[in-house]
Amino acid sequence: MKIEEHVSLKKKTTMRIGGLARYYAELHTKEDIEEAVRFAHGKNLPLIVLGSGSNTIFADGVIEGLVTRIVADRVILSPSKDEAVGHIAVEAGKILASLINELAAENLDLSPLTGIPGTVGGALFGNAGQGPKGTWIDRFVKSIEFFWQGKWQILRKEQCEFGYRESLFKKLATPPIIWSVTLSIPARSKEELKAEIEHLIQKRIDTQPHLKTAGSCFKAVDGIPAWKLIDAAGLRGTKIGDIQIAEKHANFLLNIGEATFEDAKKIVEKVQKSVPEKLEVEMRFIEKNGVSAF
């Protein structure tokens, strides 16, 4: 495992905000994960796992921690006696969009997750899906392998405490490092899948911004999409510095120039003060000490 120092994090996040990682490493193997944990523990620093950076921003300045990215991305398709279902094992660094397309070529339907950015590991961590009443990745999960408290462990789906944008992994004070997942995927024809994937991609293009953004900022409240509550508070289009609440979708924050971490924090705080309902932050805002701001 190669550990680099003072690596720019701005280009490793889709919102293009952030300073430098005191230490940075890309993890290819289980041994790399164990070594990274030992290194961070030895330095008494937090270990931060970054997927594709599609829902995370970092503070400006130096992040005093070890920022890691799992790049292992193998997909193993297992033989199945049931022609209606396919069973696969996927490593956490696999880009979700690539997985959806690869499975479609095998007549396997993960299309409900089309358009969701990021890695498989990140999707599992936050139980990524389509809206508060939509389909979530936990629907397809059989088991997850992860490293936590010095041990490799495997949990079945029902042990993972999945909920709306939640999982056991997200709830724990010291988050586990997800390594791989086994999925059970229903079969569907290539032709149907191609049409469905194209439809869902176009829907995202029509309804969501695709500039320097980190996706949905806030969670829904009692099934009400956060954008409706933000819109009702008259905040659509609001700017602080170079951060703007998107005109196209009010639950998206845009970096319209050279936005700072403080700009982003201020606009989140403004939204939380202006909306009567309690809005929980879905994005990760990582402070200089490696701790989440919200």
pLDDT recorded at residue 81: 64
Is-catalytic flag, 165? yes
User: Dihedrals φ, ψ of 116, to 5°?
Assistant: -80, 120
Query: pLDDT at position 84, please?
Result: 73
Torsion, CA 33, CA 38, CA 43, CA 45, rounded to 10: 50
Contacts of 112 (CB under 8 A, 6+ apart): 129, 130, 134, 135, 139
Domain ranges of the chain: 3-70, 75-193, 209-286
Q: Do domains 75-193 and 209-286 have the same CATH topology?
A: no
Q: Which listed residue (52, 111, 282, 284) is catalytic?
A: 282
* CA dist., res. 246 & res. 219, Å (int): 16
The Cα 97–Cα 125 span in angstroms is: 16
- pLDDT (0 to 100) of residue 130: 83
Q: Which fold has domain 75-193?
A: 3.30.465
Query: What is the predicted pLDDT for the residue at 261?
Result: 98
pTM of the model: 0.92
CA-based angle 131:136:141, to the nearest 5? Answer: 175
Architecture of domain 209-286: Alpha-Beta Complex (3.90)
22 is catalytic: no
pLDDT of residue 132: 62
pLDDT of residue 85: 83
DSSP character at residue 30: H
Residue type, 146: F
For residue 153, which amino acid is it?
Answer: Q
CB 40 within 8 A of CB 55: no
C-alpha to C-alpha distance for 19 and 80, rounded to whole angstroms = 47
Q: One of 145, 165, 167, 180 is an active-site residue; which one?
A: 165
Q: Average pLDDT of each block of 10 consecutive residues along the chain (294 residues)? A: 97 96 98 98 97 95 98 90 83 98 96 95 94 85 97 98 95 94 96 96 92 93 94 97 97 97 98 96 96 91
> Active site includes 216?
yes
Q: What is the tens place of the pLDDT at every residue in 248-272?
A: 999 999 999 999 999 999 999 999 9
Question: For domain 3-70, is the CATH number 3.90.50.10?
Answer: no
Determine the pLDDT at residue 134: 80
